[in-house]
Structure 1
Amino acid sequence: MRHVDKVRTYLNRPDKPAFSVHELYALGIPPSYAKVLVHTLLSRGEVVRLRKGWYSFHKDPLVFIYTLPPHTAYYGLGFAAYLHGAWDQVPNPEVLTYAAPRKVRAGVYTVLDTPLVVRRISRKLFGSYTLVRYGDWSLPVSTPEKTLTDLYYFDYPFLDEILPHLLEKTRPEAVKAILEEYPYPRSVKRKVLKALKANSASSFEL
């Protein structure tokens, strides 16, 4: 089939976790033929669909985040806690993003039979993430301190289970800096500071 080798050469690379259908157009492939080409690659199992208009040669649901504009999203909440070694459970990946709804809608996506949750976060509350090496890629993941505050902000259902282990991996001064920098609701700030205080008292008693 025409253009298949070109697509494999340019888009099936370790440094290319995901690609959009518009990149096929940029390779000189007509829109009508691009749809046929993608359908063929999907039926052969060479690529997987990540979401509308986005695909990957890599069989890993975590490449989903590369379908979003750079610096607009990170993996957070329970999944970030898991990546930081603060939770033994392997939760569904959760992406926090301020990308415009026209770029990606909030909700649950299924990639390779894995439910992946996209949550909206205000741009004012977005930040404090780090890059975690994952194979050939660097995944944006909220820091332990930002994970802690986001867990309270989103009223995460497994917070009590995660909290003791996550607090061990946070730096109190970094948490306080986040509470000063980002406009979280006062109720969230009070809960986070209360957790820090309780953990400090517990550590002192030990």
Structure 2
Amino acid sequence: MHVEERKEEEGSNEQELGVLLGEYGALKSEQSARIGFRDNLLYVTVGAVGAVTSVALGGFGGSGGPMHAAFLVVPWVTAILGWTYLVNDQKITAIRMYVEDELAKRVKRSAKARQAVFAWEGFHRRDGRRKLRKWVQLGIDLGTFVAPGLCALAAYMVHLSADKRSPTWYVSALMLVEAVVLVVLAALFVDHTREASRPKPR
């Protein structure tokens, strides 16, 4: 009787382990896809800002001349792409934390392992320069997704000043909204970096 119960328990554990390992594989595939998508957003943003800026400074070609109002498009482009980048980065971090803090424990218990499983999830983040890298990455993110938008707003104001003109009320309102959106986005990037670089409690 005990032998049958033991076999049933072992079969149940193997089935549970298979499900957990399947979940791990699916999560790592999603994480890998999100990492690729997130990293490509940096290049997309640089290209988009360059394209819009070239229109603002040189127009569409021919004799049309510069279209300085295009500067007002840059903050929206960088804010939308920056938000998408940030959301993906948060999901990547959340998957890593779930695998390390929850799934690894369940797999270890189901497999009756003596040593930690999925150890790489935490091992590669233990070097002393990780916190520095996170803050350097923050600088790159702000320089990619926030600074161009603020610079574009400043460039548009410089253009108006050179022409001795003032923005209309609706343009002023638009610029204010864009500036607020970029500042909020910057604060979200800083908060995410602070959370991601915080050492795991022992």
Give the TM-score band, short-chain normalised. under 0.3
Higher relative contact order (Cα pairs below 8 Å, separated by 6+ residues): 2
**Larger Rg over CA atoms:** 2
Which structure dedicates a bigger proportion of its chain to helix?
2
Give the TM-score normalised by the residue count of structure 1.
0.25
Which structure dedicates a bigger proportion of its chain to strand?
1
